[in-house]
């Protein structure tokens, strides 16, 4: 299981980096342009991704008062990208050094509705990496809505083929 989680963590960082490079290559107006999606812009989607990875990080570290980055300031797209990539890098580094016991560890946390849950770390990791994939798909759709055509391929299989 550890090998798979390390692969997912590395893929998550790589895919976030590939797609956010594309986002940063377009005009700030397009980065902030309103579109129909779960989050109304590229910027808002990246902020959400950063918030989510940060929330899970803090929960896993058993912080009682979770700080949500976007509630304390409104980051530019560059700031949101840097925050997301730093958090994804932290996850990648943590998973690489984690022991089997740490990955199996069951921890308690409260969701945004203050409901209490207990789950092993590995389940949260799988959820979080899957969540990132979902929102990267939304970023691609938003980019296409904004007229962008040359988009990076960020499928997991592409990532694994590149590593060989």
Over residues 81-106, the pLDDT tens digits come to 999 999 999 999 999 999 999 999 99
- The average pLDDT across 62-74 equals 85
User: CATH no. for residue 97?
Assistant: 1.20.120.450
Over residues 102-137, the pLDDT tens digits come to 999 999 998 889 899 999 999 999 999 999 999 999
Q: Whole-angstrom Cα distance, residue 148 to residue 40?
A: 17
Residue 42 lies in a domain: yes
Residue 44 lies in a domain: yes
Residue 97 belongs to domain spanning: 2-28+38-163
Structure tokens at 102: 């740490």
Q: Whole-angstrom Cα distance, residue 100 to residue 97?
A: 10
pLDDT of residue 164: 77
Q: Is 95 exposed, middle or buried (CB count within 10 Å of its CB: 0-12, 13-18, 19+)?
A: buried
Instruction: Read off the pTM.
Output: 0.94
Over residues 10-51, the pLDDT tens digits come to 999 999 999 999 999 999 999 999 999 999 999 999 999 999
């Amino acid at each position: 299981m550890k090998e798979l989680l390390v692969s997912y963590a590395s893929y998550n960082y790589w895919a976030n980096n590939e797609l956010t490079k594309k986002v940063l290559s377009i005009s700030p107006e397009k980065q902030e342009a309103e579109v129909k999606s779960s989050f109304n812009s590229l910027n808002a989607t990246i902020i959400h991704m950063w918030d989510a990875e940060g929330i899970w990080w803090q929960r896993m570290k058993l912080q009682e008062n979770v700080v949500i980055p976007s509630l304390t300031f409104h980051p530019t797209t560059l700031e949101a990208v840097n925050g997301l990539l730093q958090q994804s890098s932290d996850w990648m580094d943590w998973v690489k050094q984690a022991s089997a016991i740490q990955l199996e560890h069951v921890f308690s946390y409260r969701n945004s509705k203050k409901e209490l849950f207990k789950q092993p770390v590995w389940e949260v990791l799988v959820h979080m990496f899957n969540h990132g994939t979902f929102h990267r798909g939304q970023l691609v759709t938003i980019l296409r809505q904004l007229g962008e055509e040359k988009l990076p391929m960020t499928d997991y299989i592409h990532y694994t083929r590149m590593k060989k």
